[in-house]
């Protein structure tokens, strides 16, 4: 049974959500303020989080930012504010989706179902159990060194044989994501979602094209790649 954490301080909406989600067969846990939301997420390990923005204590964006560093659970932000800025902030802090209040329960349930299904497919594709997390692309972090290839997330810089390379932003993000998940088989759809974002409308060919460009830059023989290998029928694996 999938467990959903509802983070919401408006009692009527909490009741409505709890009722609707339970009827669909989900197990529902509730947090009514920012700090208990963090605790509940860590202790309960929900399969999905519905997150209000305006909350006592930490706001929803802050919660999202913190949780995103710790777990790969789908996070749907619920907010009464519907300007574009909020949407962008929501996605920047790592939310997977965004619903503006008032939303229809049918719409909410459809999105919940879709995200849970997506996560299940990713897990199946990767052949991993529930507790494995695939981190989102973080903005900084420690240097990653693969002999002559060095990735420095703090400076957003990649060097090969001590020469700083010129990578396009997506090439860099793709390389970083692959490198951070070294030796893990990553499906095209997962890569697309993590590097290009859930709302990117292009197809997974985009991934192949960028992989080709990256190989031309970082492989000694792009026709016989050793660092980024193709996993037939699935996607790619970064070897180092």
Contact 8, 78 (CB under 8 A): yes
- What minimum distance in Å lies between the beta carbon of 55 and Ca ion? 5
Closest residue (Cβ) to Ca ion? 54
Q: How far is CA 118 from the centre of its chain?
A: 11
Contact 111, 97 (CB under 8 A): yes
Q: Phi-psi bin for 68: left (phi > 0), alpha (psi -120 to 50), beta?
A: alpha
- What minimum distance in Å lies between the beta carbon of 79 and Ca ion? 8
Q: Which of 14, 32, 47, 52 binds Ca ion (CB under 5 A)?
A: 52
Burial 204-240 (b: 16+ CB within 10 A, else e): bebbeebbebbbebbbeeeeebebbeeeeebbbbbee
Contact 179, 152 (CB under 8 A): no
- What minimum distance in Å lies between the beta carbon of 80 and Ca ion? 7
Identify which range of 47-55, 70-78, 103-111, 204-212 contacts Ca ion by CB under 5 A: 47-55
Contact letters for Ca ion, residues 18-37 (x by CB under 5 A): --------------------
Q: Is 189 in the site for Ca ion (CB under 5 A)?
A: no
Q: Which of 54, 133, 209, 231 binds Ca ion (CB under 5 A)?
A: 54
Identify which range of 49-57, 96-104, 126-134, 197-205 contacts Ca ion by CB under 5 A: 49-57
| R_g of the chain computed on alpha carbons | 19
Q: How far is CA 132 from CA 37, 156, 192, in A?
A: 21, 26, 19
Identify which range of 9-17, 61-69, 161-169, 223-231 contacts Ca ion by CB under 5 A: 9-17
- Residues forming contacts to Ca ion in the complex (CB under 5 A) are 9, 52, 54
């Amino acid at each position: 049974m999938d467990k959903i954490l509802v983070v919401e301080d408006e009692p009527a909406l909490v009741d409505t959500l709890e009722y609707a989600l339970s009827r669909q067969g989900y197990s529902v846990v509730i947090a009514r303020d920012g700090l208990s939301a963090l605790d509940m997420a860590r202790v309960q390990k929900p399969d999905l989080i519905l997150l209000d923005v305006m909350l006592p204590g930490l706001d929803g964006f802050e919660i999202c930012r913190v949780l995103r560093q710790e777990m790969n659970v789908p996070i749907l932000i619920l907010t009464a504010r519907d300007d574009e800025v909020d949407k962008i902030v929501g996605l920047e802090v790592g939310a997977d989706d965004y619903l503006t209040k008032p939303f229809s329960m049918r719409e909410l349930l459809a999105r919940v179902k879709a995200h849970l299904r997506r996560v299940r497919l990713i897990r199946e594709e990767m052949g991993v159990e529930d507790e494995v997390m695939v981190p989102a692309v973080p903005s900084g972090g420690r240097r990653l060194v693969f002999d002559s290839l060095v990735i420095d997330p703090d400076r957003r810089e990649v060097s090969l044989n001590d020469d700083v390379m010129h990578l396009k932003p997506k090439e860099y993000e793709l390389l970083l994501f692959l490198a951070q998940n070294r030796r893990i088989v990553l499906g095209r759809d997962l890569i697309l979602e993590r590097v290009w974002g859930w709302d990117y409308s292009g197809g997974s060919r985009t991934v192949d094209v960028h992989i080709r460009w990256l190989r031309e830059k970082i492989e000694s023989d792009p026709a016989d790649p050793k660092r980024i290998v193709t996993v037939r029928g699935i996607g790619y694996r970064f070897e180092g």
